Amino acid sequence: MHDFYYKNGTLHCEEVAVEDLVAQAGTPLYIYSQKTIVENIRRLEIALAPLDPLICYAIKANSSLGILHLAAKMGTGFDVVSLGELLKVRQAGGDTHKCVFAGVAKTIHEITESLKLGIYAFNIESIPELERINEIAGNLKLKAPIAIRVNPNVDAGTHSKITTGTYKNKFGIAFEEISDLYSRIASEFQNIYIRGIQMHIGSQITQPTPFVQSIQKMVPLVEKLRDLYNIEFFSIGGGIGIAYQDALQSGSHEWWQGKGADFMSPEKFAQAIIPLLQPLGLKILLEPGRFIVGNAGILVTEVQYVKQTPQKNFVVVDAGMNDLIRPALYDSYHEIIPVEEDLLQETFKADVVGPICESADTFCQDREIAKVEQGDYLVLMSAGAYGMTMACNYNGRPIPAEVIVNHDKADYLRLRESIQTTWRYEGIPEWLLFEDEKKQSQTGQPLPVTEPLPESPQE
């Protein structure tokens, strides 16, 4: 559920009119509902309370500093996939001792710094990674806490680019190898502390069945590891899906009682997995990202042109695939609605496209949408996850602003980037400058001339 709705003919986020936020912050603009984020975390906590879970928010979904601070205030842990994410958790006030570090390519520097910061566990993706961590921990005279990421070879039935739990994917270690690997760790890896075991089967899973199948497959193995090595946790990963179609209606209780009854709510998810997990007597970790922030955010964009051709209509907006890449990358669906409710009375079929010089820069094709005109505002719903966090400066476009709403108040999470800042870390080597430019540089005139290459900053 979420807190975006029409009131007095205009779309609101909680008690603030979207058009008022756009008037101040411009477009493209990301807007988040704090209430939605808080309630999504609480719903998971309440539904899974019998398991006493540690919810580790997957910050790759949305890494805005203010959102991380909000999650930290609510006591969540964090699922990170880089040292940059881990340090951002610390900057936001999060507890690094409640962080799990995932990802297939952990560097020496990342492992070293993470051990110094005292993370809860590394989720191990390969034997070479395990060997590297063991060596580094030995050099630091530390024990590295780990959990092997098991690939259970269960197809979650999601898009091919977001499935992670089959043997065709780069993630994890095959189920059949796990028992022998833990035995080897216990006997050969002196600098490793076996803390748990982890799985993750994919993203945007909308029914409990794939989770149930994976957990049922894992339980005998987890019991064996618990008894042999006294592991303390079993992480079932993330992947709880959200509503993308009918996203506006999914904010209401009626939707969850009607069409939403066929969708996986936290309560339905909990009902399916608690009986399988509770008898283990272990701490259960969950790594949700999309569920917490996905429906809590929208992307607002202004219509620049309505282009009509004999073949189709194009609604050209000022947001592009550099702002929200999911439709171009995954062919993903985002519901598109107008800020003004009365525009819904007349519709037409159109492609909604952005300004990027790529044919993939399309948010929808041949979709029945509100009949808008130049200057109207459209909203892409369910944009809180994998939106801003994947944004870039392609085509020289600045990163958009982010705003968060708390009841009747609003403030920036991120100011809009200026055009000039898009090249702030670039320079021109001196040997490429013309003679007059070199003279100017010697007289102190500002030119973007690089210094000799420094070592890359590590933090």
Q: Which of 262, 290, 318 is the last residue of a domain?
A: 290
- Across the beta sheet with 4-7, the strand order is 4-7, 10-13, 16-17
Which residues, listed in sequence order, are joined to residue 284 by a DSSP beta bridge?
234
Q: Is 351 within a domain? A: no
Q: How far apart are CA 255 and CA 115, in angstroms?
A: 46
pLDDT at 164: 47
Q: Where in the sequence is the domain holding 271, given as residue range(s)?
A: 35-290
Before 28, cis peptide (omega within 30)?
A: yes
Count Cα neighbours of 99 within 13 Å in the Cβ-side half-sphere. 28
Nearest-angstrom CA–CA distance, 351 and 55: 39
Structural domain contains residue 133 = yes
Residue 158 DSSP SS3: coil
> Side-chain half-sphere of 231: how many Cα atoms within 13 Å?
31
pLDDT score for 152? 82
The domain boundary residue, chosen from 290, 318, 340: 290
Q: Is residue 412 part of a domain?
A: no
Distances (CA, A) of 301 to 10, 353, 371, 415: 15, 11, 15, 16
Q: What is the CATH number of the domain that holds 51?
A: 3.20.20.10
Q: Which of 245, 274, 290 is the last residue of a domain?
A: 290
Q: How far apart are CA 411 and CA 25, in angstroms?
A: 10
How many whole angstroms separate alpha carbon 385 and alpha carbon 295?
Answer: 8
Q: How far apart are CA 319 and CA 329, in angstroms?
A: 15
Going by C-alpha positions, the residue among 384, 352, 354 that lies closest to residue 366 is 352
pLDDT value, residue 438 = 65
Q: Residue 229: helix, strand or coil by DSSP? A: helix
Answer yes or no: is 357 within a domain: no
Give CA–CA dist 105/102, Å, rounded.
Answer: 9
Is 387 a domain residue?
no
Total of domains in the chain? 2
Instruction: Dig out the tokens for 2 from the structure.
Output: 């979420």
Residue 205 covered by a domain: yes
Burial of 458 (0-12, 13-18, 19+ CB in 10 A): exposed
Q: Which are the catalytic amino acids?
A: 357
Alpha carbons 68 and 64: distance in angstroms, whole number? 6
Q: Are residues 94 and 243 in the same domain?
A: yes
∠ CA 385-386-392, nearest 5°, is 135
CB half-sphere exposure, 84, CA atoms < 13 A? 6
Q: What is the pLDDT of residue 450?
A: 45
pLDDT mean by block of 10 residues, the chain; 459 residues: 92 98 98 98 97 97 98 98 98 98 96 98 96 98 97 62 51 90 97 97 89 94 97 96 88 71 87 98 97 97 97 97 96 97 96 97 97 98 98 97 98 96 90 73 52 50
